[in-house]
């Protein structure tokens, strides 16, 4: 086994990482659909493992398509640890418990997916970055923005893969991989933060080059058509590092759900997961910081204050939501009037710590006539008020720009827009359903079957096979959800997912999630205890 695994991984000519990742998540969706359709309690017992929210489950009994395709060049189906001739010939499959085989598959997938990822990174560098025609077209500064520190990222991946391969070669039964993940995350994965933080500039530079340099556009198109790229776009290669660091965290979560509780392997997996989560958060913050700063500068230029000026730009401030609403004119007693002048347009800029209320004026400007700290906002929905007052809610400023209480009756364009504003304005307001942190046994859940890219700050981008708790939903097709693997919240179209109907699968998803985040909980309890002291 030890003599040929490395050669097999290195010579693998099958899936690029983009293909592997897409196939893996789609197979997981099908696996969960199959399990969700099992309503017989004996078919879905609580002791059975369910798939992780973003990683495939591979078991001997599982009838879903196998999950890996890294070690067989001529075969298009995924390959499993248990399918390796060395494993089958060793007789270990008749000795190991089913749970241990599932764990072996989860660890083996982390290794093989890293090999696929390295293959795609290598293609980005050798096929695109080092292309002589492209080098002549791009100025050195343009190439730097476009490719950033991808060479560092690839070197880190190669070193990581070598250590993983060495571990797998030590024994047919893999002892652990999370200790290696931990060491590399702590010592080397900061290169991902550098790469991902450059993403905003990278995307902008790429669009600008396509627009301004026909020669660049032509060369990129020709390179994309090369059979090596398998029909994948240049931009799909550029985004690989961000996708991989996020995926790696989920692969470790998948291992964590399968290791025995209170074992050394659980402790190592928890440590690796915690460090990866730190890196992923730093990556997300790096991307947000770049775009937020520019956005705040742009908003500041558009505002004219009718009241005492409020400084908008701050390192700790960012935009949560902006948009037009209709403000009701006159006192509340006039709400039964049926005139076209009952409402007039106002425009809201809601930041994480501040609300600014404006009226739009000529020249793409906004005149500010009131403001309040976000923590001093309260909302109240009006119900059964007739068609003209549908989607109307009351916004109360406990202390406005004049240091007094003020109320606004506001009308949104739809039910979803009203709910989105209410949740953004008063985030601690109770939602229709419970959140992950409430620790209740059951809650509506949905799995993502179509990827979604957030269009507004209060929306949530979704990856295939994400599982979310449903916190609220609207009649016009929007869901407010909380993703289980990272507790990120936001709105997305209900058409992006399929509701998980089997209560046992929902309960198992929550149970696994609590286990993954139990180290976070104990840390929060320690901090809480320290703060009380």
Please write the tens of the pLDDT for every residue from 17-50.
Answer: 888 888 888 888 888 888 888 755 444 333 333 3
pLDDT in tens, 473-512: 999 999 999 999 889 999 999 999 999 999 999 998 998 8
Highest mean pLDDT among 9-13, 179-183, 328-332: 179-183
Residue 389 has pLDDT above 70, yes or no: yes
Cα of 225 vs its chain's centroid, Å: 30
Q: Please tell me the distance from the alpha carbon of residue 118 to that of residue 107, in angstroms, as a whole number.
A: 17
Residue-level pLDDT at 78: 45
5-19, 136-150, 311-325: the lowest-pLDDT one: 5-19
Contacts of 61 (CB under 8 A, 6+ apart): 98
> What's the whole-number average pLDDT of the chain?
84
Q: CA angle 399-400-406, nearest 5°? A: 85
Please give the CATH topology (third level) of the domain spanning 79-297: Dbl Homology Domain; Chain A (1.20.900)
Please give the CATH topology (third level) of the domain spanning 436-525: SH3 type barrels. (2.30.30)
Residue 72 has pLDDT above 50, yes or no: no
Residue 66 has pLDDT above 50, yes or no: no
Q: Please tell me the distance from the alpha carbon of residue 441 to that of residue 513, in angstroms, as a whole number.
A: 12
Where are the chain's structural domains?
Answer: 79-297, 306-330+342-425, 436-525
DSSP assignment string, 363-413 = TTEEEEEEEEEGGGEEEEE--S--GGGTTEEEEEESS-TTSS-EEEEEE-S
Residue-level pLDDT at 382: 82
pTM of the model: 0.79
Band the pLDDT of 330: cuts 50, 70, 90: low
Q: Residue holding tokens 């660890």? A: 107
**DSSP-based three-state secondary structure for 468:** strand
Reported residue count of the chain is: 533
Closest by CA to 422, choosing from 402, 396, 457, 453, is: 396
In contact, 471 and 510? CB cutoff 8 Å: no
More confidently predicted of 437 and 44: 437
pLDDT in tens, 75-112: 334 468 998 888 989 999 999 999 999 999 999 999 99
4-18, 149-163, 315-329: the lowest-pLDDT one: 4-18
Domain 306-330+342-425 class in CATH: mainly beta
Average pLDDT of the segment spanning 128-149: 96
Band the pLDDT of 63: cuts 50, 70, 90: very low
Average pLDDT of the segment spanning 516-525: 58
Contacts of 46 (CB under 8 A, 6+ apart): 504, 507, 508
DSSP symbol at 173: S
Residue 531 has pLDDT above 90, yes or no: no
Closest by CA to 481, choosing from 507, 501, 499, 505, is: 499
Average pLDDT of the segment spanning 364-371: 96
- pLDDT-above-90 percentage for the chain: 65
Could you check whether 306-330+342-425 and 436-525 share the same CATH topology? no
Strand partners, 479: 473, 492
Q: Residue holding tokens 């002589």? A: 132
Residue 7: both structure tokens together: 């050669």
pLDDT in tens, 252-306: 999 999 999 999 999 999 999 999 999 999 999 888 887 888 899 999 999 999 9
Q: Please tell me the distance from the alpha carbon of residue 23 to that of residue 171, in angstroms, as a whole number.
A: 28
Phi then psi dihedrals of residue 424, to 5 deg: -70, -40
Residue-level pLDDT at 137: 96
Residue-level pLDDT at 19: 85
């Amino acid at each position: 086994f030890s003599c040929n695994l490395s050669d097999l991984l290195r010579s693998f000519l099958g899936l690029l990482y983009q293909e592997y990742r897409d196939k893996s998540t789609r197979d997981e969706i099908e696996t969960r659909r199959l399990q969700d359709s099992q309503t017989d309690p004996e078919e879905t017992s609580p002791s059975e493992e369910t798939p992780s929210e973003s990683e495939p489950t591979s078991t001997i009994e599982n009838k879903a398509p196998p999950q890996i395709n890294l070690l067989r060049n001529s075969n298009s189906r995924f390959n499993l640890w248990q399918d390796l001739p060395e494993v089958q010939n060793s007789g270990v499959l008749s000795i190991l418990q089913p749970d241990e085989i599932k764990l072996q598959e989860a660890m083996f997938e982390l290794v093989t997916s890293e090999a696929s990822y390295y293959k795609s990174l290598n293609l980005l560098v050798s096929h695109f970055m080092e292309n002589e025609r492209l080098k002549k077209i791009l100025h050195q500064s343009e190439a730097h923005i476009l490719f950033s520190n991808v060479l560092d990222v690839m070197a880190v991946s190669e070193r990581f893969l070598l250590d993983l391969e060495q571990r797998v070669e030590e024994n047919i039964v893999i002892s652990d991989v999370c200790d290696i993940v931990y060491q590399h995350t702590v010592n080397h994965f900061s290169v991902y933060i550098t790469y991902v933080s450059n993403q905003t500039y990278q995307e902008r530079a790429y669009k600008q080059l396509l627009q301004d340099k026909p020669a660049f556009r032509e060369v990129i198109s020709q390179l994309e058509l090369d059979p090596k790229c398998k029909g994948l776009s240049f931009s799909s290669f550029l985004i690989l590092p961000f996708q991989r660091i996020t995926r790696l965290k989920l692969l470790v979560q998948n291992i964590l759900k399968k290791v025995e509780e209170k074992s050394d392997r659980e402790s190592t997996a928890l440590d690796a997961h915690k460090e990866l989560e730190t890196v992923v958060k730093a990556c997300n913050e790096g991307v947000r910081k770049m775009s937020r700063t520019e956005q705040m500068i742009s908003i500041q230029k558009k505002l004219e204050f009718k009241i005492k000026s409020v400084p908008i730009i701050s390192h700790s401030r960012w935009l949560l939501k902006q948009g037009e609403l209709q403000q009701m004119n006159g006192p509340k007693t006039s709400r039964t009037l049926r005139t076209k002048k009952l409402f007039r347009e106002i425009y809201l800029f809601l930041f994480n710590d501040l609300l600014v209320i404006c009226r739009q004026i000529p020249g793409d400007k906004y005149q500010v006539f009131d403001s309040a700290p976000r923590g001093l906002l309260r909302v109240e929905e009006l119900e059964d008020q007739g068609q003209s007052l549908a989607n109307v809610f009351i916004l109360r400023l406990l202390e406005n720009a004049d240091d007094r209480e003020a109320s606004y009756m506001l009308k949104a364009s739809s039910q979803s827009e009203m709910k989105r504003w209410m949740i953004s304005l008063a985030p601690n307001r109770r939602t229709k359903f419970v959140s992950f942190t409430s620790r209740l046994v059951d809650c509506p859940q949905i799995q993502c079957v179509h990827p979604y890219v957030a269009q507004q700050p209060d929306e949530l981008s979704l990856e295939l096979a994400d599982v979310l708790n449903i916190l609220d939903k609207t009649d016009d097709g929007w869901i407010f959800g909380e993703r289980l693997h990272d507790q990120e919240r936001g709105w997305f179209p209900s058409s992006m997912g399929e509701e998980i109907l089997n209560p046992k699968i929902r309960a198992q998803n929550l149970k696994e999630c609590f286990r993954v985040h139990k180290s976070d909980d104990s840390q929060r309890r320690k901090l809480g205890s320290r703060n009380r002291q």
